[in-house]
Structure 1
Amino acid sequence: MCTLGNLIWLLVGGLTMSLVWMLVSILAFVSIVGIPWARACWTISDFAFTPFGKEIISRRDLTLKRDIGTSVLGSVGNAIWFIFAGFWLALGHAVSGALCCLTVIGIPFGIQHFKLAELAVAPIGKTIVSNELAHAAREANAKSALAQLRSEA
């Protein structure tokens, strides 16, 4: 099912937006100061090419560790990113998502565009993993949080 979804996705804006992400990645790399964002853009372009079967998750939720991308510096990096590229990428995905949602068949593709729009706003501190891995990480985090709440009570 993921394969069929990804094939149709390429026709409803996925290929175009993936190429846009690649272009932004190349521009960020060439600018030298944008190198920290270039690798993230390249990874997101792969996700924008075939999003079905994958999910966006915070690295902190996945690893249970803070890193530079999930700290205050990550928030500053996301603010800088939003000003220079994030707004335009998010706008492209939001418009594509709205167009996809005009038909019932296009709603799943519109939802994927909206997920990518959210990622375009603040990509630092996020990673892309399989649906199964994201679900397992969230389930393990929920069990850990529940155990902690029960021990406090």
Structure 2
Amino acid sequence: MKTLLNVIWLLFGGIWLALGYFLAGIVCCLLIVTIPWGIASFRIAGYALWPFGRMVVDKPGGVGIAATLGNVVWLLVAGIWIAIGHVMTAIAMAITIIGIPLAIANLKLIPVSLMPLGKQIVPTSQPFVTGYR
């Protein structure tokens, strides 16, 4: 079922969403100072490409002060706008019965798009891998 939902997701928006995050990652990496956000954008792009069967967890060891400050900057500069985009897209997807799981997947992207640093994407079958508790 996860594979079927991922294929439907990919066809109805996932590919464009992933390409957007990938492009943002390239831009962030080109600007040198914003490389941590670029790496986070690449991570989110992979998640946006194939979201069903995966989840976001905090990295082992907690989030340091640098990641916290970076998340605040990201939230103010881009995170809030990306989250609003996810909500609007989720509303559009939820109009049809088939689109409801896609809308839920879109809403699952909001927390990582708001605060991407200090996060890791893991399979849902192993949410508590050693060090991820």
Query: Same-fold call, TM > 0.5?
Result: yes
CA–CA distance in 2 between the matches of 1:31 and 1:83? 18
Other-structure match for 1:95? 88
Partner of 1:24: 24
Rounded Cα–Cα distance in structure 2 between residues aligned with 1:91 and 1:35? 24
Structure with more of its chain in helix, by fraction: 1
Structure 1: runs of 5+ lacking an equivalent? 142-153
CA distance in 2, matches of 1:14, 1:93: 11
- Higher Rg of the two aligned structures: 1
Aligned to 1:144: none
**Shift of residue 89, structure 1, vs aligned partner:** 1.9
- What is the CA distance between 1:72 and its match in structure 2? 2.9
Determine if contact 1:2/1:52 at 8 Å carries over to the other structure: yes
1:73 and 2:66 are equivalent in the alignment:
yes
Alignment correspondent of 2:101:
108
Taking the TM superposition and a 5 Å limit, the aligned residue runs for 1:4-153 are 4-59=4-59, 63=60, 65-66=61-62, 70-134=63-127, 136-137=128-129, 141=133
TM-score of the superposition, structure 1-length normalised? 0.79
**When the two structures are aligned, how many residues end up with a matched partner?**
132
CA deviation after TM superposition for structure 1 residue 43, in Å: 1.2
TM-aligned CA deviation for residue 39 of structure 1: 1.0
TM-score (norm: length of structure 2): 0.90
Q: C-alpha separation between the residues in 1 aligned to 2:75 and 2:27?
A: 15
Report the aligned-residue RMSD.
Answer: 1.8
**Worse-superposed segment, 31-40 or 88-97:** 88-97
CA offset digits 1:41-68 (Å, max 9, x no partner): 1111011001111111111xxx3x23xx
Provide the C-alpha distance between the structure 1 equivalents of 2:10 and 2:88, rounded to a whole number of angstroms.
16
Higher relative contact order (CA 8 A, sep 6+): 2
* Aligned partner letter, 1:56: V
The runs of at least 4 aligned residues of structure 1 exceeding 2 Å deviation read none
Aligned-residue sequence identity (percent) comes to 35
Matched letter for residue 86 of structure 1: G
Distance in 2 between residues matched to 1:89 and 1:30, nearest whole Å: 20
Contact (CA 8 Å) 1:25, 1:37: kept in 2 or not? yes
